[in-house]
Amino acid sequence: MKPVRRRIRRHFGLTAKQVAVRSQRPWYFQWVVAALFVVIGYVAAYWQFTGGENLTVKLNQAILENQAFQTKIIQVEQQIKIEQASQKNLNEELKLVHDENIKLKEDLLFYKNMLGKK
């Protein structure tokens, strides 16, 4: 009975050897992954060296266009303010001319009544 216990303790007890289970990938899978990383690195480097300059040029063009649009917006806003001020002045002058016209019509009616003509 003792030899059976010893065998069980050897395999399952505290003194049992610890085993690590590791799955191994096939060699061709490792080569494919390595080749994929190399291709991704090459594409990233190619994009950085060729496409990066185009992006900076496009960014500078967009900044210049943005500044041009900003100046156009400011000019249009100033023009609108000037038009609003002139419209306000015209409305005030129209009101004054209209009041003067009413006064002149009243005076004309008064003088017609004085002469007795209608």
Section 43-57 average pLDDT: 78
d(CA 19, CA 12): 12
What pLDDT was estimated at residue 52? 62
* CA dihedral of 6, 8, 12, 16, whole degrees rounded to 10: 30
Q: Given a cut of 90, is residue 27 above it in pLDDT?
A: no
22: its two tokens: 């590791």
DSSP code at position 116: T
15: its two tokens: 């003194």
State the maximum Cα–Cα separation within the chain, in Å, rounded to a whole number: 153
What pLDDT was estimated at residue 117? 62
104: its two tokens: 């002149």
What pLDDT was estimated at residue 53? 66
Phi (first) and psi of residue 82, to 5 degrees: -65, -45
Q: What percent of the chain has pLDDT over 70?
A: 92
At residue 41, what is the residue type? G
pLDDT in tens, 73-106: 999 999 999 999 999 999 999 999 999 999 999 9
